[in-house]
Amino acid sequence: MGIVALPRGPRTVARPDAGAIVAGVIHNFYVGRLFKAFITIYLVATISFFVVHLMPGSPVEVYIYTLMNQYGVSYATAQNQAAALFSVNVNEPLVQQYVGYLGQLAQGHLGNSLLSPGTSVGSVMLAYMPWTLFSVGVALLISFILGILLGMLMAYRRESVLDHALSFVGSVFNSVPNYIVGILLIVILGIQLNLIDIASMRGSFSPGVKPGVDLHFFLDALMHASLPILTYVLTTVGAWMLTMKSNTSATLDEDYVTVARARGLGDWRIMTSYVGRNAMIPLVAQVAIAAGFAVGGSILIETLFVYQGIGWILNSAIAQRDYTVMQGIFLVITISVVAANLLADLLYGRIDPRVRIQGESGG
């Protein structure tokens, strides 16, 4: 990394000394956000623990009685098995169980599946999560870029036919629930018109294809993810477009844009670094919310398309009452949403220094 040390002209900034960094960390916007994220995850973990353990007919109890009735084992034996599965000691006081649970969680142990003994929730997660991240990530990227471009186009061509047409299409797709768009895609393209073979697109990749880092596998995975991606894009692009349009319109009226015009700056320069940049800032924070919503909504979309991601496995865990898998996946979904939000906050702080400064003086 010797190149970094070379002077890079006037943009090079002197590094602050260590003392300033430590002082900065304590009253920091970022530290505050991290703390909030941590609290959220902690609360969700706690709530899901008590839901499982305090509900009338809690899954632990139900499991114990099922074992006793089905296999005729004694209460103690059944209790031991239940304890092993839920990774809690049922005889301990609740507080002690709770502490034990948090300890396990901190080490990344989410327990084992109830219905497939020997399968850890962590391994379920590893097998299914990448598909969701892949499909949701690609969709979000396409939707965001498309929305930004179309939104700016609409703002620059305000009141044109194009603006009205895009507004209409955007708000229609924005208001219709995403699962309905998914159903429509399957019913119309797959069944009525027979344009695509729905059955062969199920799953996350085709049976004969070996997962690996090659183009063939990537294209196959993309083919299987294409319908979920199309659904996510269709249902989210409208919101990006309309927000970007109104932000751009508002920015175009700002004095600094007029000044930039008066200074004779080129249209392209004004569009990218004056209008576009400022109009985009509020959207960055929404990317996280959109990501969270998409991951949350994946339970519906992936179930419809039989796309084997985290949403699909959550749906089947709930349907089969596999409480440990259910709880673990819900926790992981929450963590990923919280992480996405955190990332947005951090990015937002970088793009718009006002937020950061406000946070520092306020905290």
Partner 1 sequence: MATTALAPESAHPVLTALRGAIGAVRSALQALSYNRAGMIATWVFIVIVVISFVSPLVIAEPPPDYANIYAAPSAVHPLGTDFQGSDVLAQVLRGGEVVLIVAAVAAFVSVLISITFGALSAYAGGWVDTVITGLADVVLTIPGFPLLAVLAAYLRLSNPIFLALLIAALGWPTLLRAVRSQVLSLKERDYVEAARALDLGTVHVLFREILPNMRAYIAMYFVLSMTGAIYQQVGLYLLGFAPLAGDNWGIMLNLAWYRGAIFFKGSFWYIMAPIIAISVVQLTMVTMTRSLEEAFNPRLRKAG
* Site for partner 1, rule CB under 8 A: 36, 39-40, 43-44, 48, 51, 55, 158-159, 171-172, 174-177, 179-180, 183-184, 186-187, 191-192, 198, 246, 250, 292-293, 295-297, 299-300, 303-304, 311, 314-315, 318-319, 321, 323, 326-327, 330, 333-334, 337-338, 341
Smaller CB distance to partner 1: residue 76 or 172? 172
Helices (DSSP H) in 253-322: which residue ranges? Answer: 255-262, 267-269, 277-305, 310-319
Smaller CB distance to partner 1: residue 86 or 221? 86
Find the shortest distance in angstroms from Cβ 105 to partner 1: 17
Smaller CB distance to partner 1: residue 25 or 289? 289
Long-range own/partner contacts, residues 275-280 (CB < 8 A, 24 or more apart): 275/152, 275/248, 275/251, 276/148, 276/152, 276/248, 278/247, 278/251, 278/254, 279/151, 279/152, 279/155, 279/244, 279/247, 279/248, 279/250, 279/251, 280/148, 280/244, 280/247
Find the shortest distance in angstroms from Cβ 242 to partner 1: 8
Task: Give the distance between the most distant pair of CA atoms in the chain.
Answer: 87
Q: Which of 128, 152, 137 is nearest to 248 (CA)?
A: 152
Find the shortest distance in angstroms from Cβ 42 to partner 1: 10
CA distance 177 to 155: 26
Contact (CB, 8 A) for 73 and 65: no
Smaller CB distance to partner 1: residue 112 or 132? 132
Both tokens of 354, joined, read 């006002």
Interior/surface letters 288-323, b for 16+ CB within 10 angstroms, e for the rest = bebbbbbbebbbbbbbbbebbbbbbbbbebeeeebb
Find the shortest distance in angstroms from Cβ 40 to partner 1: 5
User: Which amino acid type is present at position 329?
Assistant: I
Find the shortest distance in angstroms from Cβ 199 to partner 1: 10
Smaller CB distance to partner 1: residue 64 or 300? 300
Find the shortest distance in angstroms from Cβ 187 to partner 1: 5
CA distance 77 to 64: 9
Find the shortest distance in angstroms from Cβ 192 to partner 1: 6
Both tokens of 132, joined, read 């969701």
Q: Which of 359, 352, 332 is nearest to 34 (CA)?
A: 359
Smaller CB distance to partner 1: residue 100 or 296? 296
Find the shortest distance in angstroms from Cβ 330 to partner 1: 5
Both tokens of 264, joined, read 């004779």
Smaller CB distance to partner 1: residue 62 or 265? 62
Smaller CB distance to partner 1: residue 40 or 81? 40
Smaller CB distance to partner 1: residue 185 or 221? 185
Find the shortest distance in angstroms from Cβ 181 to partner 1: 9
Q: Which of 313, 282, 253, 265 is nearest to 128 (CA)?
A: 313
